[in-house]
Amino acid sequence: MRFQLAFEDRPTLTVVSLPCELSPASIEEQSTRLRSWALIRGAPIAGPAFVTVHGRIGGRACLPLGAAVYPHPETGLCLETIEGGEVARITPASLDQLFGEIDELTARLSPDRPLRGSAEFHPAVASRGEATLVLLLERVPAVPPVELIRSRTATV
């Protein structure tokens, strides 16, 4: 399978977030809850929802906001800041193969230094059709590969 790899400098993100499981149903449910909260509260949505991966079974559904709007404590939502900087965007990504992809790409992109922050899984939206994996980098590799080729043999 071919993976397209792109590097970019991403600004710091202000997000509202909720815990979620790493399943399509949980991701969709929590993303919908975040969008509903933003619409009701009048918070400016600055992009589609995504998941920060915090372990083999869970993460946080995040919705980027255009301004810091503090949720009421009873909602269970948190306002967070995700540090900006260099990121690697890899497409296509698969929720079923997520940890194998993270492990392999981490080894290829940053063998001597750990990545910073949590990996992010950006689910496909109807118009794009492919999910994206985002890794926050300490630095861009000296000679970044344009395309990675590998077989999908990793298991969750």
In tens, the pLDDT along 103-151 reads 877 777 776 666 788 999 999 865 455 799 999 988 766 655 544 444 3
Query: Which amino acid, residue 22?
Result: L
* Domain boundary pick from 32, 52, 82: 82
Helix and strand totals (H; E) in the chain: 2, 9
Q: Which residues pair with 86 in a beta bridge?
A: 9
H-type alpha helices, the chain = 24-41, 98-109
What confidence tier does 55 reach under pLDDT thresholds 50, 70, 90? confident
| pLDDT greater than 70 at residue 153 | no
Co-location of 78 and 17 in the same domain = yes
The tokens for 72 are: 């009421």
pTM: 0.85
In tens, the pLDDT along 17-42 reads 999 999 999 999 999 999 999 999 99
Kindly state the percentage of the chain with pLDDT values over 90. 52
Q: Average pLDDT, stretch 52-68? A: 93
* Domain boundary pick from 65, 82, 99: 82
Judged on CB neighbours under 10 Å (0-12, 13-18, 19+), 154 is: middle
Which of 1-10, 90-99, 101-110 reaches the highest mean pLDDT? 90-99
Domain interval for residue 23:
13-82
Number of domains the chain contains: 2
